[in-house]
């Protein structure tokens, strides 16, 4: 059994999500062969050197799971793309590139965070290209922690405001881009997060059936996709209050 989650946006202000995640690790994830976290695991990440007790506790919980035998894979999201190898070493997880292809049951499955698929949002795509540039990432990591915190708050507030103002189709994936990345990676199944619109979309790609599975974000509910053999089911569960 393999589990996939994304968009938990973990932060100390949302202890309900944190507790639900820790419970998820102790129950569902402890029975899994592997756990894939497809980005935006944290609400914000300004660098491994900024870890405090909250982040270290999360890393410790992940390491405890890995020591039980569950392999953990982590992919960057648009909120936490500065997560580095120091955190992964503490957490006992492997950092995956975006995109990544895995093979299950003789099928190639494409894993992505999903923000790079939203090509109609041109302003965001320009910002994404700048932030993901190696020089920009180096420059950001060289800034003092106080400056990075202020910049992260500014970018987060601007992102929330702009998202509310944009049309729904602008902030969703572009179908043509979905088809492009599937062809490029020789896959017919895509699993991603980012859009906070959990669903399973079936369509035809070059005469063959294809699926795009969108993982849910953790807010009022928690979400997890379970792959067991050829079965894929996405479960929603209420957070404890």
Model confidence pLDDT, tens digit, residues 53-99:
999 999 999 999 999 999 999 999 999 999 999 999 999 999 999 99
Any known ligand binding at 94? no
Token pair, residue 129, equals 């290209």
Domain at 2-238: CATH architecture: 4-Layer Sandwich (3.60)
Any known ligand binding at 115? no
Q: In the sheet that 107-111 helps form, which strands lie side by side, from edge to edge?
A: 100-104, 107-111, 189-192, 208-214, 199-205
Any known ligand binding at 14? no
Any known ligand binding at 201? no
Given a contact cutoff of 8 angstroms between Cβ atoms, the answer to whether 41 and 21 are in contact is no
Secondary structure of the chain: what % helix, strand, coil (to 5)? 40, 25, 35
Any known ligand binding at 166? yes
pTM for this entry:
0.93
Any known ligand binding at 23? no
Rg of the chain taking only CA atoms, in angstroms: 17
Is residue 204 helix, strand or coil? strand
Provide the pLDDT for residue 168. Answer: 62
What angle separates helix 15-26 from helix 53-67, to the nearest 10 degrees? 10
For the chain, the structural domain boundaries read 2-238
Provide the pLDDT for residue 156. Answer: 76
Given a contact cutoff of 8 angstroms between Cβ atoms, the answer to whether 108 and 101 are in contact is yes
Residues of the chain with pLDDT under 70: 159-170, 240-241
Provide the pLDDT for residue 165. Answer: 53
Provide the pLDDT for residue 170. Answer: 60
Determine whether 159 is exposed, middle or buried from the number of CB atoms within 10 Å of its CB (0-12, 13-18, 19+). Answer: middle
Any known ligand binding at 100? no
Q: Which residues of 199-211 are buried (b: 16+ CB within 10 A; e: fewer)?
A: eeeeeebeeeebb
Provide the pLDDT for residue 169. Answer: 58
Any known ligand binding at 196? yes
Any known ligand binding at 79? yes
Any known ligand binding at 57? no
Determine whether 237 is exposed, middle or buried from the number of CB atoms within 10 Å of its CB (0-12, 13-18, 19+). Answer: middle
Provide the pLDDT for residue 181. Answer: 98
């Amino acid at each position: 059994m393999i589990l996939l989650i994304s968009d938990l946006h973990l932060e100390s202000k949302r202890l309900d999500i944190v507790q639900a995640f820790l419970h998820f690790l102790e129950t569902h994830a402890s029975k899994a062969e592997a756990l894939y976290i497809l980005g935006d695991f944290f609400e914000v990440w300004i660098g491994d050197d900024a870890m405090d007790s909250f982040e270290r506790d999360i890393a410790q919980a992940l390491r405890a799971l890995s020591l039980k035998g569950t392999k953990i894979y982590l992919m960057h999201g648009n909120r936490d793309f500065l997560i580095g190898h120091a955190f992964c070493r503490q957490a006992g997880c492997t950092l995956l590139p975006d995109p990544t292809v895995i093979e299950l049951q003789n099928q190639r499955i494409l894993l992505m965070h999903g923000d790079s698929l939203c090509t109609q949002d041109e302003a965001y795509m320009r910002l994404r290209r700048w932030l993901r540039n190696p020089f920009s990432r180096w420059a950001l990591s060289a800034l003092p922690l106080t400056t990075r915190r202020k910049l992260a708050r500014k970018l987060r507030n601007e992102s929330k405001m702009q998202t509310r103002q944009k049309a729904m189709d602008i902030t969703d994936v572009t179908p043509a881009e979905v088809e492009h990345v599937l062809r490029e990676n020789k896959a017919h199944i895509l699993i991603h997060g980012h859009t906070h619109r959990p669903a399973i979309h079936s369509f035809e790609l070059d005469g063959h059936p294809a699926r795009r599975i969108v993982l849910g974000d953790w807010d009022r509910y928690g979400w997890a996709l379970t792959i067991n053999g050829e079965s894929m089911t996405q479960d929603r569960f209420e957070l404890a209050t």
